[in-house]
């Protein structure tokens, strides 16, 4: 695998990592149609755990089959495919080597009132399945946040020692955090910075709104004249909050939205210096041909062709 200068520059930021971990980061960064560009599009399919099968897959029943998602990621030329243990196991042999995989190692479900996640897979599982990375969600703000942070510290230490990369989904929620606060500018930047401090190689957060949640933070944003007026500027600030761009930052697609809304968001991520999108429901809840067309356009945007 020949590594481009852009990817080499990104890898330089990971000074403490062994060749195995850097090699797996390179696998993701060099794979697919955006390979070598420093941009990523990842397909995550953990929503069945989070929301249930009908809410996740009934809009496009082909999605009940794990092979459908693997094949979609392969045919679209995506950078990686992320999913919980059972889903990855269901296609691990058929699609071995076809696309880098990320094993989601913790999950929540809609039947619980706790803003918490259970550990559902191990580093050993990730190695057995040939994954490039493990994935893990933390909920900054939750009453259970410290347990989640301690769990990923332990898993990340083991993963890195085995040459795997670490992806952290950092989603503020629970405790004092309101629904509007979950995507507030100051809160999203804070959540992204926490993931960087926890040693994440790839950080996943939601695109922030202009809303400010914490009064103390709002005063600093105003006094320092931090530009948060448009999404491009807000993306740039989140990237800045992740060690001044020394960490890979990707942004979630969230709930279903129209195509122009998706494309405008992707342009803002690109222009704001984000590394890409990790987009699930907006992909697999569409019919296959529509999803492939949408992903093709997203890749064109990140390539500067649209």
Q: Does any domain span residue 178?
A: yes
Share of the chain above pLDDT 90, in %: 95
Do β-strands 106-107 and 118-119 pair in parallel, antiparallel, or remain unpaired?
Answer: antiparallel
pLDDT in tens, 149-185: 999 999 999 999 999 999 999 999 999 999 999 999 9
For residues 293-303, give the mean pLDDT: 98
Domain that holds residue 70: 21-300
Q: Does any domain span residue 30?
A: yes
Q: Does any domain span residue 87?
A: yes
Q: Which helix (H) or strand (E) holds 83?
A: strand 80-84
- Residue at token pair 């100051």: 186
- The pLDDT score that the predictor gives to residue 79 is 98
Share of the chain above pLDDT 70, in %: 99
- The answer to whether 202 and 169 have CB atoms below 8 angstroms apart is no
Could you tell me the CATH number of the domain that includes residue 119? 3.20.20.70
- The pLDDT score that the predictor gives to residue 257 is 72
- The answer to whether 52 and 110 have CB atoms below 8 angstroms apart is yes
What phi and psi, each to the nearest 5 degrees, are found at residue 190? Answer: -65, -45
For residues 270-274, give the mean pLDDT: 98
Instruction: Give the pLDDT band of residue 293 (cuts 50, 70, 90).
Output: very high
Q: Has residue 135 got a pLDDT over 90?
A: yes
- Residue at token pair 């629970």: 174
Looking at the structure of the chain, the number of domains it has is 1
Q: Has residue 9 got a pLDDT over 80?
A: yes
Q: Has residue 253 got a pLDDT over 90?
A: no
Q: Has residue 254 got a pLDDT over 80?
A: no
**Which residues have a Cβ under 8 Å from the Cβ of 160 and sit 6 or more positions away?**
17, 18, 21, 166, 199
Residue 104 structure tokens: 């989601």
Active-site amino acid positions: 204
Q: What is the CA angle 223-224-228, rounded to 5?
A: 100
Q: Does any domain span residue 9?
A: no
Q: Has residue 265 got a pLDDT over 70?
A: yes
For residues 25-44, give the mean pLDDT: 98
**Which residues have a Cβ under 8 Å from the Cβ of 195 and sit 6 or more positions away?**
138, 168, 170, 203, 204, 205, 242
pLDDT in tens, 202-212: 999 999 999 99
Residue 248 structure tokens: 């890979």
Q: Has residue 38 got a pLDDT over 90?
A: yes
pLDDT in tens, 64-89: 999 999 999 999 999 999 999 999 99
- The pLDDT score that the predictor gives to residue 190 is 98
Q: Has residue 255 got a pLDDT over 90?
A: no
Bridge partners, residue 168, by sequence:
136, 203
Q: Does any domain span residue 14?
A: no
- The pLDDT score that the predictor gives to residue 26 is 98
Q: Does any domain span residue 130?
A: yes
SS3 249: strand
User: How far is residue 270's CA from residue 87's CA, in Å, rounded to a whole number?
Assistant: 30
Q: Does any domain span residue 34?
A: yes
Instruction: For the chain, state the CA radius of gyration.
Output: 18
pLDDT in tens, 88-104: 999 999 999 999 999 99
Provide the whole-model pTM: 0.97
Helix 231-241 crosses helix 259-271 at what angle (to 10 degrees)? Answer: 50
Q: What is the CA angle 147-129-120, rounded to 5?
A: 25
What value does the mean pLDDT of the chain take?
96
Q: Does any domain span residue 262?
A: yes
For residues 221-234, give the mean pLDDT: 97
């Amino acid at each position: 695998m020949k590594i481009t200068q852009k990817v080499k520059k990104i890898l330089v930021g990971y000074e403490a990592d062994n060749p195995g971990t850097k090699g797996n980061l390179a696998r993701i960064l060099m794979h697919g149609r955006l390979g070598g560009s420093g941009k990523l599009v990842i397909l995550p399919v953990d929503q069945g755990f989070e929301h249930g099968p009908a809410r996740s897959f009934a809009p496009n029943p082909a999605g009940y089959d794990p092979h459908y998602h693997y094949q979609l990621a392969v045919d679209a030329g995506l950078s990686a495919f992320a999913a919980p243990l059972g889903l990855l196991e269901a296609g691990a042999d058929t699609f071995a080597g076809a696309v880098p995989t990320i094993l989601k190692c913790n999950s929540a479900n809609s039947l619980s009132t706790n803003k918490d996640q259970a550990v559902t897979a191990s580093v050993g599982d990730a190695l057995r399945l040939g994954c490039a990375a493990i994935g893990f969600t933390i909920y900054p703000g939750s009453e259970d946040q410290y347990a989640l942070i301690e769990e990923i510290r332990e898993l990340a230490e083991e993963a890195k020692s085995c040459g795997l990369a670490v992806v952290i989904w950092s989603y503020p929620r629970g405790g004092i955090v309101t629904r509007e606060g979950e995507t507030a500018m100051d809160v999203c930047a804070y959540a992204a910075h926490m993931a960087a401090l926890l040693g994440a190689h790839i950080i996943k957060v939601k695109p922030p709104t202009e809303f400010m949640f914490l009064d103390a933070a709002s005063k600093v944003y105003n006094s320092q004249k931090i530009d948060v007026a448009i999404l491009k500027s807000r993306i740039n600030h989140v990237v800045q909050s992740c060690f001044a761009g020394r960490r890979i930052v990707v942004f979630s697609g969230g709930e279903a939205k129209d195509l122009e809304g998706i494309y405008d968001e992707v342009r803002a991520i690109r222009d704001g210096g984000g590394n890409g999108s990790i987009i699930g429901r907006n992909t697999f809840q569409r019919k296959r041909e529509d999803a492939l067309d949408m992903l093709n356009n997203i890749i064109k945007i990140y390539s500067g062709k649209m």
